[in-house]
Amino acid sequence: MAQTSDVIIIGGGIHGASLAFHLTQKGVKPLVLEKQFIASGATGRSSGLVRMHYDLEPESRLAWISFNYFRNWADMVGGDSGFVRTGFMQFVSRDAVDSLKANVQMHQKIGIPSLLIDREDVGRLAPSFYREDVELAAYEPDSGYADPAGCTSAFMDSARANGAQLIQDCEVIDFTIQGDRVQGVKTNSGEFSAPIIVNAAGAWAGKIAKLIGLELPIDTWRHDTMFIRRPKELGFDHPTAIDFPNSMYFRPETGGLTLVGLEDHNPIGESPDSDSDHSKPGFVDRAIDRICKRIPGMDNGSLHNSHGGYDGITPDQRAIIGKAGPEGFYLTCGFSGTGFKIAPAVGACMAELIVDGEAETADIQPFNPERFSEGNLLVGKHSYESIWR
């Protein structure tokens, strides 16, 4: 006989764990099924940036709500998020400065502590940064980064303490459906039943959806990152940054390291089961070249390590959140490489949608799955270029 639970969540990454936590806060006891181990997919490879700068207001609102969790993790969740405040800078090309101004104004309207800074400000806040190409940048003094795997474990630990269950090394291989409603799943560890099933499978979300007869506009996207040892003369720290002119993002890491990721030449459509323990050939050389353009003194640094990772990506590079397919089937996937920082708020919204029928914490309607078939792809009012290329 199949084991029965209130809700089955497929995927033990940050979004599956956040949803499990928030469901238990509402008295629901979910079962989380993870094909490997928690945070083994995109979450474990996430760069962990915690910032609110988006060109789409609904995403900035989700990030702002989530930021309160990162700042108050012990009280709101329990455990430690590993949040480190570094300050965050958003650099754009000169032809995007007007959009930058408008987006900072939007962030300030929400209540986000964001401001415009000029070249001289950048020099005072980050003396090691090259800034001759900077007219204006956005600055969030309170932002930084956190520990994705640690956050996932904290969410899951709290959820389990309140009645949630977690089964690892458990791969979903099929669904059971009765009429037009989901009934359960078949896995390599047996069958499980629940009236509600949530696809939070990250890079495997498209494959999971196909098992239930649902074609999602979602593909896999690979991202490589490296850690470089900073030369001592650069100091102990520097702000976190997204650097559009150099198609790059970077942040400091404990131990005198800097993490670097690139926003171009990221392969689409590869199997998420491909090798992610090593970066692609040529990535390290390109990443070193980019970071040295923004931090010239980094040319005296040395490589610590590099690796890859996979996430799900959608045509508009925004998440898919909501109901789809048979009755009782929900989606929280397709975060396109930027899902970590909004996971606390998304989990709260999903729990409200499932239990109460509507999200109240934030408006998640813009992320509904129907937008693709309706031709309503999400684009910021003052959009930047596509991030992942």
133-190: per-residue pLDDT in tens? 999 999 999 999 999 999 999 999 999 999 999 999 999 999 999 999 999 999 999 9
323-344: per-residue pLDDT in tens? 999 999 999 999 999 999 999 9
Half-sphere exposure of 290 (CA within 13 A, CB side): 26
Is the per-residue pLDDT at 203 higher than 50? yes
Alpha carbons 369 and 59: distance in angstroms, whole number: 16
288-323: per-residue pLDDT in tens? 999 999 999 999 999 999 999 999 999 999 999 999
- The per-residue pLDDT for 389 is 43
Amino acid letter, residue 298: M
Residue 388: band (very low, low, confident or very high) from pLDDT cuts 50, 70, 90: low
Query: Count H helices, E strands: the chain?
Result: 10, 23
- The per-residue pLDDT for 386 is 63
Tokens of 203: 């890079």
Domains along the sequence of the chain with CATH: 3-45+149-217+314-371 (3.50.50.60), 83-144+220-310 (3.30.9.10)
Phi, psi of 237 (to 5 degrees): -155, 170
Alpha carbons 159 and 165: distance in angstroms, whole number: 8
Tokens of 22: 């928030």
Strands 165-167 and 30-33 come out as parallel
Task: Provide, rounded to the nearest whole percent, the portion of the chain with pLDDT above 70.
Answer: 99
Mean pLDDT, the chain, integer:
96
